[in-house]
A and B are shown apart, each in its own frame.
Chain A
Amino acid sequence: MYSFTYQKPDSVTAARSAFEAADDASYLAGGMTMIPTMKQRLAMPSDLLDLSAIPDLKQITMADDHLVLGAMCSHHQVAMAPQVWGSIPALAALAGAIGDQAVRYRGTMGGSVANNDPAADYPGAVLALDATIITDRREIAADDFFTGMFETALDAGELITAIRFKKPRRAAYMKFHHPASRYAIAGVFVAEFRTGVRLAVTGAGPVVHRLDDFEQALQKSFSPEALEPLRVDEAALNHDHHASAAYRAHLVKLMAQRAVKAAGIAS
């Protein structure tokens, strides 16, 4: 690992000032991606700004129709939080199935969403739940946030402080994970709102995305059978030594059907 200057700002304002004062700073959230990346010398920030000393970023707050999670909430914290189980249980279950327990103690929601790994779980939830990403300077709709592989709408130095999730009528997440890394080879998050159905696919393509035809079919009938006549276009999906694009296309439909079934049972 290359060396760097380590800083531990105690407020969002201090973190932002430190970022602006540095040559080429990076934020450190849980470090479950950042530290391995630095160990491999794929990243060499001049300054590493550890966000763990900012208590505001670890809050969970609830309102009638939404849930707000601070960016530094760990996966373990979200998976154990009664407020999350009480309002969006599919989100708590998703957080409880990321990586392994040691990763869940450290890894954070904000870190995962800012990194936008194509196989990460959280982006699926953020997109399907029509969430709003709250940063130190603005609010960004999920539909505008995930712009490409490892790319987001965040500007340089822009810091996610929280994410506001709309409470759905019912929702579920199903993933087919890689047996060693636990990352999704294909994952589907489905959410039904009073206003319609949203379905997001992670792991299968270069970036998390919605499936319009699946959403329309589920809007007419929220059942696994409604998806039966549809097929997933494999042209835009990833193919690698873990799974071919055709296999991923098959898995996306299967995970979608399982998610719809699970959401039906949960409601």
Chain B
Amino acid sequence: MTYPIHLKVNGAPVSLSVEPNRLLVDLLRQTLGLTGTHVGCDTSQCGACLVQLDGQTVKSCTLLAVQADGCDLTTIEGLATGDDLHPMQAAFHEHHGLQCGFCTPGMIMAGIDIAKRHEAPDEATIRHELEGNLCRCTGYQNIVKAIDAGVRSLNQAKA
């Protein structure tokens, strides 16, 4: 048995039928070919699979694809505008906020979510907010710097 779902992925309408036990991350990676969203732990701990669902940053490895029916979904592929990086992506680039890059899509999604909820977070707040994102290169120093810069740039643009 499959279920018809209709959602928006990075602004484009998508309609397809999914098995009930298909995870959202598998739909993104395997069916839609959006492999920027990563599966690190598959146990809800690492945050590499973060995507935005109706504006909230959620773990796509712990959501069923059918649960995304009717939702507006943004993945890492949907952030840049053409060749122009999203301000959080630009901040990661500028501050070298990555080593191997595996955790980066989730870190960037987490950074964007932090910017929505905090006007000007201090370093301790950023570190606390990253409790659900693991970097196994232990590259947190530059990730925190990048998010700090990205949040400033996003919130200045808002003001």
Chain A residues with CB under 8 Å of chain B are: 1-6, 31-32, 35-36, 38-39, 48, 50, 52, 76, 99-103, 105-106, 180-182
Contacts and interface: CB of A to CB of B under 8 A. Distances in A.
Nearest to B133: A100
A231 B133 CA distance: 37
Nearest to A44: B21
Given A5-B20, A6-B3, A31-B63, A102 B58 contact: yes
A50 B67 contact: yes
B72 interface: no
A160 to B, nearest CB: 20
Contact of B19 (A3, A31, A36, A180): A3
Q: How large is the interface on B (under 10, 10 to 19, 20 to 34, 35 or more residues)?
A: 20 to 34
* Residue with the greatest number of chain B CB neighbours at <10 A, chosen from A31, A101, A106: A101
Interface string B21-64: 10100000000000000000011110100100000111100111
B131 A39 contact: no
B108 interface: no
B64 A99 contact: no
Contact of A182 (B20, B64, B131): B131
Q: Which 6 A-B pairs have the closest CB atoms?
A: A100-B132, A6-B20, A1-B21, A105-B56, A100-B131, A3-B21
B110 interface: yes
B66 interface: yes
Contacts of B3: 6
* Residue with the greatest number of chain A CB neighbours at <10 A, chosen from B1, B21, B47, B117: B21
Nearest to A47: B20
Interface of B: 1, 3, 19-21, 23, 42-45, 47, 50, 56-59, 62-64, 66-67, 110, 113, 117, 129, 131-133
A31 B64 contact: yes
A35 B20 contact: no
B64 A6 contact: yes
B57 A106 contact: no
B136 to A, nearest CB: 13
A4 B67 contact: no
Given A31-B63, A102-B132, A106-B62, A180 B45 contact: yes
Given A31-B62, A101-B129, A36 B44 contact: yes
Given A35-B64, A36-B44, A39-B42, A103 B132 contact: yes
25 contacts: A1-B21, A2-B21, A3-B20, A4-B21, A5-B1, A5-B20, A31-B62, A31-B63, A31-B67, A32-B62, A35-B63, A36-B43, A36-B44, A48-B20, A52-B67, A76-B56, A101-B57, A102-B47, A102-B58, A102-B59, A102-B132, A105-B57, A105-B58, A106-B58, A180-B45
A129 B139 CA distance: 42
B125 to A, nearest CB: 12
B63 to A, nearest CB: 7
Given A3-B1, A102-B110, A106-B62, 20 more contacts: A1-B21, A3-B20, A4-B21, A5-B1, A5-B20, A6-B20, A32-B44, A32-B62, A36-B43, A36-B44, A39-B42, A50-B66, A52-B67, A99-B132, A100-B131, A101-B110, A102-B58, A102-B59, A102-B132, A182-B131
Nearest to B69: A8
